[in-house]
Amino acid sequence: ADEEGINGVTVNLLDEDGNVLESTITADNPDTGEPGYYEFDELTPGTPYVVEFIAPDGNTFSPQDEGDDTTDSDANTTTGQSDAVVLESGENNPTIDAGIYETASLGDYVWLDKNADGQQDADEEGINDVTVNLLVDGAVVASTTTVTNAGEDGFYEFTDLTPGVEYVVEFVAPDGFLASPQDEGDDTTDSDADRTTGLSQTVVLGSNENNPTIDAGFYETASLGDFVFLDNDADGQQDADEEGVNGVTVNLLDEDGNVLESTTTVDNPDTGEPGYYEFDELTPGTPYVVEFVAPDGNEFSPEDEGDDTTDSDANITTGQSDAIVLESGENNPTIDAGIYEEASLGDYVWLDKNADGQQDADEEGINDVTVNLLVDGAVVATTTTVTNGGEDG
């Protein structure tokens, strides 16, 4: 009902030997005004005639004899000729018709989705050498690989396609890559590949249609880690003489604080050094938080004291890092934590009877002496001497 006639198409009337008897061009129907009309009249009954349609450049004939003869196409898809038509006296046969169409195309982009959000962002580039298959009824009818086009990588296209056919595009993920989320937003910039099968939804094209929106985003999983160290001087920096600590629990949290994974520090499989941990196969673009659980009796070192490759990233109260967002294929090995055990000092004030600076056996401690603890000249703690274990001072 929505398909219109085409004017300007050459139509020949042939005899049974293929000789052209008459020729005309389609025009508006003189009765209805609709385009695509032709007619050969004053024909001899009983004589075999063949109608030959000449497809315009770039056009193809529709399938022949598909259904009701009053509405189907009668032109052979190769020759453009109808079957032989024999008329009776006074007969008008208005059913010798031809459908034509221009081939269609689809494409056209496979890109590296750095943040795995299923949208083509401005800083994300195409990926070449990705296999893309075109399927009809589950069978591959064409195959190509992505290439550079107009200076941009990741281009593919299937051309000379038949309108009305149900096509499905299959994207084959490169080794180590996963498909981005499907149909996340605007169809001109989203990813159309199913995350499990790599298949697009069914695509049906119209005559001369180009659909360049059948795209696919892929990404590599990411990882982070990787070190918990004993910070002997509690300065929040990994000094050369400070070693890693095994057996420390490390949790991976989502942005809501839920534990996604848990591990404990061990010897690094590559270097053999203790204190190593890693979380891998992480999704780019997702905020993660690393939570370190300090062993009993330990405290966290100061956070973010200097170079991020050697500092401690654990909050001194919660043991949690700041949120970390990774890109496709990224490994961030700088999420570390320093821990230390608290130290103590003391412990005796005595009456030095002979003022020799030595605690002699007959010299006793003195209670109620005020003792202050200073840092940079400032008092940070104060106490007084008391009896302990039966001894004063």
pLDDT digits (tens, 9 = 90+) for 312-328: 999 999 999 999 999 99
Question: Hey, CA dihedral for 106, 204, 186, 112, is it positive or negative?
Answer: negative
∠ CA(385), CA(391), CA(393), 5° rounding?
20
CA 109 to chain centre: 13
Q: Quick one: CA torsion of 267, 271, 276, 281, rounded to 10 degrees?
A: -110
* 181 alpha-carbon distance from chain centroid: 6
DSSP 8-state class, residue 112: E
115 Rama sector, left if φ>0, alpha if ψ -120 to 50, beta otherwise: alpha
Does the pLDDT of residue 86 top 70, yes or no?
yes
The Cα–Cα gap between 79 and 331 comes to 62
What domains can be seen in the chain, in order of their start residue? 1-101 (2.60.40.10), 104-220 (2.60.40.10), 222-341 (2.60.40.10), 346-393 (no CATH)
pLDDT in tens, 137-188: 999 999 999 999 999 999 999 999 999 999 999 999 999 999 999 999 899 9
Residue 34 has a pLDDT of 97
- Determine the average pLDDT of the residues in 185-203: 97
Other Cβ atoms less than 10 A from the Cβ of 307: the count is 10
- Mean pLDDT over residues 336-341, rounded? 97
Locate the DSSP E strands across 123-195: 131-136, 139-145, 147-149, 152-161, 166-171, 177-179
pTM for the model stands at: 0.78
- Six token digits for residue 168: 């499905």
Q: What are phi and psi of 318, to 5 degrees?
A: -95, -20
Tell whether the model's pLDDT for residue 132 goes beyond 70: yes
What is the chain's mean pLDDT, rounded?
Answer: 97
Among 215, 216, 292, CA closest to 253: 292
DSSP state of 56: P
How does DSSP classify residue 189? T
Rounded CA separation 226/310 (Å): 11
- Residue 77 has phi, psi (to 5 degrees) of -65, -20
pLDDT at 391: 84
Is pLDDT of 109 > 70? Answer: yes
Check if the beta carbon of residue 181 is closer than 8 Å to that of residue 115: no
In this predicted model, what pLDDT tens digit does every residue of 275-300 receive, in sequence order? 999 999 999 999 999 999 999 999 99
CA distance from start to end of the chain: 107
Q: What's the pLDDT band for 389 if we cut at 50, 70, 90?
A: confident
pLDDT value at residue 393:
63
DSSP 326: P
